[in-house]
Amino acid sequence: MGKHSKKTKLTKSEKREKIQAETEQKVVELAELEQRLAGLHMQHQKVQARIQRYERNKRGAILAAANLRTLEEEQPPLYMHLGRAFVLSDFHQIEKDLEQKIKEANENLPQLENIKTQFETRLQAESQNMLQLRKDFMRLGIRA
């Protein structure tokens, strides 16, 4: 500011109005941020659940395939799980089904892991925004 520039001072009521408007804006920002954070958290949990399901199915298919190989010589009647029922099936059909489950898990797991890391970075960024908003509230004299 130069020597001859006019300084404008705000009155107490103008300061209060300015702080009130800023507080209202921060409250709206906080509500939006909490909503985004909740949505991201839910999506992150869904992705984690899908990853766990694929890993569990893959482990089960690997174990079942290992057991199936020991039964190959005996050729007992084999049944495949179909909904709530079990259907008589041949050895090769069951083996193909297990291989398909393992292949599907191997294809989908890397994609889901990438999606999971993206959600984790977004969650971290949103939590940083939340911390900044909390600092702004403290600066305004409001406990959040």
| More confidently predicted of 30 and 144 | 30
Say whether 82 sits in a helix, a strand or coil: strand
Residue type at position 139? R
pLDDT in tens, 41-97: 999 999 999 999 999 999 999 999 998 888 877 888 888 888 888 888 888 888 999
Say whether 24 sits in a helix, a strand or coil: helix
Structure tokens at 13: 């009521």
Helical segments of the chain, H only: 12-71, 91-140
pTM for this entry:
0.72
Cβ neighbours of residue 106 under 8 Å, at least 6 residues apart? 58
**β-pairing, 78-82 with 85-89?**
antiparallel
Of the candidates 140, 143, 127, 139, the residue with the CA atom closest to the CA atom of residue 38: 127
What pLDDT does 143 receive? Answer: 63
Residue 4 has pLDDT above 80, yes or no: no
Structural domains in the chain plus CATH codes: 16-140 (1.10.287.370)
